[in-house]
A and B are shown apart, each in its own frame.
Chain A
């Protein structure tokens, strides 16, 4: 039970780092590959501590993304909560997968999240980015193992 109060601090720190990474300006060449740090971090906590982080926390992450990306309030909330739901329905299985397979699942999950965002945005007439969001899903899948290792270390250090 000592586990329960240490990790809130770790959770906040990890989201803080993720938000910073989300905003770091990448060189133009690789800008289209910017991973969805916040969403990947959210998925990490869903997998590790589903009793703490759930659909309701997704509202906060979505709100943050809405502000950062300047979209209408609610678009990212909807998408992130859907992600939370999807991950929670299969987190038991996801944990058993080898890391490469987990990355594949992350690709689909982040892809679905981005698809929801881009669909709503284009339905509201904002902008249409075509299928380029699949690159973001791809890079998010690539960073998954690193997020897993680094955040595990972080949690261990803050224990």
Chain B
């Protein structure tokens, strides 16, 4: 029987095979053109992505097992130790936040004096990462919050340390977040202590970004913290983005080469925060 099967298939190839390939080539080229020119196919993509959700969940399984296993075998002693540490930390943070409240109030008063817009307290929702991009040329992560949770296009995503990226695709239960390190991503920033503005471009590497068009004479030094400037209206103001790691002055160029290291742990963080900006509804449904 085994021999019978394959022999018939000689004729499957025939001249038809080339026609089929031709058809597939025509189909895919027209799909590429349609996808570049129009946005109708986004809906198809969302439907298929939603269908792939179980696969995303499943592919996270090995990692979940690992964390469950560690949870099961952790001793009481370690847990108590950890609890103590966390309580200490909580105290410290509470003290800090008391101070912060008064400082924020004062800042708002001062801003009112200056007739500037107030810093709004943004709402946040915790999301969990459930998948990462398999493609090194396109850096995104998948999170477990989608249209049902009110996620919107261009929404800022943070981890505990700083800005991670922005939402670029929303499905029913999940959404895709483009990381700030992606080669197509840029974020407007300013230096925290003196307000010098710049734009941080992703380079496709998780470990550093680059600042574009920083004049040689600019007041910037290694170790400076960059926070989101809020210009462009996409990211909320004042979240840490990166820290300057190296500055290269080249006499042959008009701009300095500034490399910065993202504050967020782009390759490690699992729990993320989605920032809900109160007045995003007024702005257009921004698309990338």
CA–CA, A146 to B224, complex, Å? 51
Chain B residues with a Cβ closer than 8 Å to the other chain, count: 52
B135 at the interface (CB under 8 A from A): yes
Tally of contacts, chain A with chain B, CB under 8 A: 136
Interface residues on chain A, number (Cβ under 8 Å): 51
Q: Which of A21-29, A100-108, A137-145, A151-159 contacts B (4 or more CB under 8 A)?
A: A21-29
Of the candidates A59, A69, A73, A77, the one whose C-beta lies within 8 Å of that of B138 is A69
What is the minimal beta-carbon distance from B19 to any residue of chain A, in angstroms? 9
Q: Binding site of A, secondary structure by majority: helix, strand, loop or mixed?
A: helix
- A3 and B137 CA atoms in complex are apart in Å by 41
Quick check: B134 and A23 within 8 Å, CB to CB? yes
Instruction: Considering the complex, give the chain B residue whose CB is closest to the CB of A72.
Output: B35
By beta carbon, the residue of chain B nearest A59 is B24
Question: Taking chain B's interface residues, is the majority helix, strand, or loop, or is none over half, making it mixed?
Answer: helix
Interface residues of A in 58-87 (CB under 8 A from B): 58-59, 62-64, 67-75, 77-78, 81-82, 84-85
Kindly provide the distance from the CB of A67 to the nearest chain B CB, expressed in whole angstroms.
5
Binding site for A on B (CB under 8 A): 1, 5-6, 8-10, 12-13, 17-18, 20-21, 23-25, 27-32, 34-36, 41, 44-45, 48-49, 52, 55-56, 58-60, 62-63, 131-138, 140, 169, 176, 183-184, 204, 267
Additional 9 contacts, C-beta under 8 A, given A68-B52, A71-B135, A126-B138: A16-B55, A25-B59, A70-B169, A73-B32, A73-B34, A74-B28, A75-B32, A89-B17, A92-B6
Footprint of B on A, CB under 8 Å? Answer: 3, 16, 19-25, 28, 31-32, 34, 50-51, 54-56, 58-59, 62-64, 67-75, 77-78, 81-82, 84-85, 88-89, 91-92, 95, 120-121, 124, 126-129, 132
